[in-house]
């Protein structure tokens, strides 16, 4: 079982800087409970996490998890029961807008840091396999596009601080997403 502790840059963890390996269908289901548990544990402490990638729990594999609550937030919808948790396996960005948006970002793996100036594509299309191995495409804009790009970067060994134009320290009461 994967440790549910979030790996941080303070751990000097190489896993956060590795290119994740693609996984086989037989491995998919293994990561669902582990990623959900790790995010739940993180949220019980941090309160602002919106997704989690396997490298953040010590596994350099090509998978990340977005809970239903994040999809609801992206739609400004208080009824998260309309949405479902989604596992993104071996994802690839297949299309993106030319327009770049600068916005706020933080990361569970980069504690007590935040930025108001992380550039991301305004819109993206991403292909991935779901937890059943079904090929899917998601088209996203705004907040959800930002989350997808942030998590995808984790699989490429990239942290948001590598892209941020300015990074600020925050006190513990203002922990970042």
Domains of the chain, with CATH numbers? 9-174 (3.90.45.10)
Q: Are 61 and 23 in contact (CB under 8 A)?
A: yes
- Residue-wise pLDDT for 16-38, tens only, equals 999 999 998 888 778 778 877 87
Q: Quick check: 61 pLDDT over 50?
A: yes
Indicate which residues carry an active-site annotation.
151
Buried residues in 130-145 as b, exposed as e (16+ CB within 10 A): ebeeeeeebebeebbb
Between CA 140 and CA 160 the distance in angstroms is 19
Q: Please state the rounded mean pLDDT for residues 101-128.
A: 94
pLDDT over 60 at 174, yes or no? no
Asked if the model's pLDDT at residue 68 lies above 60, the reply is yes
Nearest one of 56, 79, 68 to 158, comparing CA atoms: 56
The larger pLDDT score, comparing residue 34 to residue 9, is at 9
Q: From the CB of residue 42, how many other CB atoms can be counted at a distance below 10 Å?
A: 20
The confidence score (pLDDT) of residue 177 equals 46
Lowest average pLDDT, out of 10-14, 24-28, 40-44, 109-113, goes to: 40-44
Q: What is the percentage of the chain residues whose pLDDT exceeds 70?
A: 90
CA distances in angstroms from 10 to 29, 110, 164, 170, listed in the order given: 29, 8, 18, 15
Helices (H), the chain: 28-46, 68-74, 142-155
State pTM to two decimals.
0.90
Q: Among 2-16, 29-43, 69-83, 148-162, name the most confident range.
A: 148-162
- Whether residue 104 is predicted with pLDDT greater than 90 in this model: the reply is yes
């Amino acid at each position: 079982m994967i440790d549910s502790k979030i790996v941080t840059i303070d751990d000097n963890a190489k896993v956060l800087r590795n290119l994740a390996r693609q996984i086989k269908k037989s491995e998919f289901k293994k990561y669902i409970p582990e990623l959900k548990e790790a995010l739940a544990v993180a949220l019980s402490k941090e309160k602002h996490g919106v997704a989690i990638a396997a490298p953040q729990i010590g596994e350099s594999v090509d998978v990340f998890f977005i809970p239903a609550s994040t999809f609801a937030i992206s739609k400004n919808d208080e009824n998260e029961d309309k949405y479902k948790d989604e596992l993104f396996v071996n994802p690839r960005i297949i299309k993106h807008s030319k327009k770049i948006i600068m916005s706020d970002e933080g990361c569970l793996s980069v504690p007590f840091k935040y930025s108001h100036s992380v550039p991301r594509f305004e819109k993206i299309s991403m292909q991935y396999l779901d937890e059943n191995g079904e090929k899917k495409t998601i088209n996203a804009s705004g907040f959800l596009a930002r989350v997808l790009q942030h998590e995808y970067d984790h699989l490429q060994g990239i942290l948001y601080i590598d892209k941020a134009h300015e990074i600020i320290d925050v006190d513990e009461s203002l922990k970042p997403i």
